[in-house]
Amino acid sequence: MAFGAFDGLHPGHLDYFKQAKAFGDVLVVSVGTDRNVEKIKGKKPLFNQDERLDLVSNCSLVDKAVLGEEDDFMHHIKSVEPDVLCLGYDQWAKEGDLRAELKRVGLENVEIYRLKPYEKYRAKSTITKTKSVDF
């Protein structure tokens, strides 16, 4: 299971999906709700949650895309019952805290991996949305 806003898919997202897919047979991707994306990133997403969910759902690397929970992240994860959680290199979750929360909800055998960046200073939504391009 992987998580993110996915506000416009780019090569960094595709690499994230490829890395996550290597840890299991089925890749479930949780797309952040508009409210949570705004809360975490401090601004509204460019694309709404239904558009972002549709983009991720149509990616051939993703077996199933689901919309994230507004408040109870552990309930959301527990409903999927993943064997593995894959975190992006820049995601806010701390592995130790996440492990404790997983144990609290009865998912103590879930493995957690922090994935590597694709191109740290190039393929990132905040960069691609703010960079001007001359044609």
- 135 part of a folded domain: no
Query: What range does the domain containing 103 cover?
Result: 2-130
Q: Give the distance from CA 112 to its chain's centroid.
A: 13
- 45-101 pLDDT per residue, tens: 999 999 999 999 999 999 999 999 998 999 999 999 999 999 999 998 899 999 999
Here the CATH number for the domain that contains residue 42 is 3.40.50.620
Q: Residue range 32-47: average pLDDT?
A: 95
What confidence category does residue 121 fall into, taking pLDDT thresholds of 50, 70 and 90?
A: low
- 97 part of a folded domain: yes
pLDDT for 23: 97
What confidence category does residue 119 fall into, taking pLDDT thresholds of 50, 70 and 90?
A: confident
Q: Residue range 102-124: average pLDDT?
A: 87
- 11 part of a folded domain: yes
pLDDT for 82: 97
- 30 part of a folded domain: yes
- 107 part of a folded domain: yes
- 62 part of a folded domain: yes
Contact 62, 29 (CB under 8 A): yes
pLDDT for 51: 98
- 29 part of a folded domain: yes
pLDDT for 133: 38
**SS3 state at 66:** strand
- Measuring CA to CA, which residue among 7, 73, 14 is closest to residue 37? 7
- 63 part of a folded domain: yes
| Separation CA 12–CA 5 (nearest Å) | 13
What confidence category does residue 108 fall into, taking pLDDT thresholds of 50, 70 and 90?
A: very high
What domain count does the chain have? 1
Contact 4, 123 (CB under 8 A): no
| pTM, two decimal places | 0.86
